[in-house]
Amino acid sequence: MNFYVARQPILNKSKALYAYELLFRDGVDNVFPEINDDEATAKLIDGLEFNLGLNDLTDGSLAFINFTQETLLRGYPLLLPKEQVVVEILETAKPGKKLLAACIHLKKQGYKIALDDYEHQAVWLHFFPYVDIIKIDYSLTSEAQFAQIVSLVKGYPQIKLLAEKIETHTQYQHAIQIGCEYFQGYFFSKPEVVKTVAFNPTQLSVVNLMSECNKTEPDLNVITSIFEGDANLSYKLLRYAQSPIFKRSITIESIKQAVVVLGMQELQRFISLLFSAQFSQEKPKELTVMALVRARFCELMVLRILPKSSQSSAFLMGLLSLIDAMVDGDLQELLDKLPISNELKEAIINRVGKHADFLKLCELYENAEWQNIKQFCTDIKIDYDDAALTFQESFKWASARMDALYS
């Protein structure tokens, strides 16, 4: 699933980047979608929460995010890290006791608060002790209103003024003259639409399972708790553990028992299978099969040629080599979100290292490049017939695992 957000830079007096304002979009067209403000805020928070980090969108700077009255009262800002966001209260919010209490709570938690498109009402003065930034809309504000706002904030030295919708040099100079510290508008930059990949909760659970299983000493209690936190994954684990491919007669009655019965190596493979299935939900089943074939082929080739300790990383390399096709995302960006080593990333992205030779060989089989396969086997000192049998075995293995998962 793709996640779209528009970002517009906010600059300081030196025209250096201070922050980005993030605006929800539902596609590459840089226009606000036909949804209400509450839904837009909720979708943006949802996307950011499952995006595995604001840093990718803001280059490490602050993010101004719009919140409606309803989303503020529901505590949505608390879902985001206080060090990285400025809570921007939309101009549609009605100042009152409940909203003031929400702002006081956010301030106590360490969040920065901004008032958007500010138009003065006396009741807003109760909020001023908790406000860090007031945004003045240059498309709406009169000279008298400018003077009033500037006068009011003098008693609150922590409040900085941000001039927004600056479209001309004259407006920019005026904003400097009245004491604005920050600036935003088409005069500097139009919003830029950024597309990234948002992971849903089940996908995040699978990523966390991969991370735990790839540790030197995986914690079975942690693994069990992650499965127990997702009913869909729990069901698949129990069905898989009792699949006919294992020829077991025992009945498995708990998540922990299933984890123990599978054993760490088969559990890692199962989690990899889940990963492929979860990240290619809207893609042909054959794509998942191909990823599993690559994973098993690389694992078996390493088993026969390289130290046993290399098996799990070889399996993961083959599995992740198609993740960009699974989610229609950038390979580098996706791998940076996953708990894998730089060595493994290099093997997948640039086909560097001994493991990567096996991945290249598997790709040659996929494309039926028989002459190139013979030469490549010679180059990397691999038996041609043995490699062909391994590829066939890997295909059967992948097909059987897919049947076990979906039976």
What CATH architecture applies to the domain 2-197?
A: Alpha-Beta Barrel (3.20)
Q: What is the mean pLDDT of the chain?
A: 81
| Short-list 367, 397, 394, 401, CA closest to 275 | 401
Q: How far apart are CA 74 and CA 96, in angstroms?
A: 15
Q: What is the pLDDT of residue 327?
A: 72
Q: What is the domain partition of the chain in residue ranges?
A: 2-197, 201-406
Report DSSP letters for 320-337, one per residue: HTTHHHHHT--HHHHHHT
Q: What is the pLDDT of residue 188?
A: 63
Mean local confidence (pLDDT), 281-309: 78
Angle at 365 between CA 361 and CA 368, to 5 degrees: 135
Judged by DSSP in three states, 66 sits in strand
- 63 forms bridges with which residues in the sheet? 20, 85
Question: The pTM is what?
Answer: 0.51
Fold match between domain 2-197 and domain 201-406: no
Mean local confidence (pLDDT), 240-258: 79
Q: Is 98 a residue whose pLDDT tops 90?
A: yes
* Angle between the N-to-C axes of helices 201-213 and 220-228, in degrees from 0 to 180, rounded to the nearest 10: 170
**Which residue stretches of 198-320 are H helix?**
201-213, 220-228, 231-241, 255-278, 285-305, 311-320
Q: What is the pLDDT of residue 159?
A: 95
Topology annotation, domain 201-406? Hypothetical protein af1432 (1.10.3210)
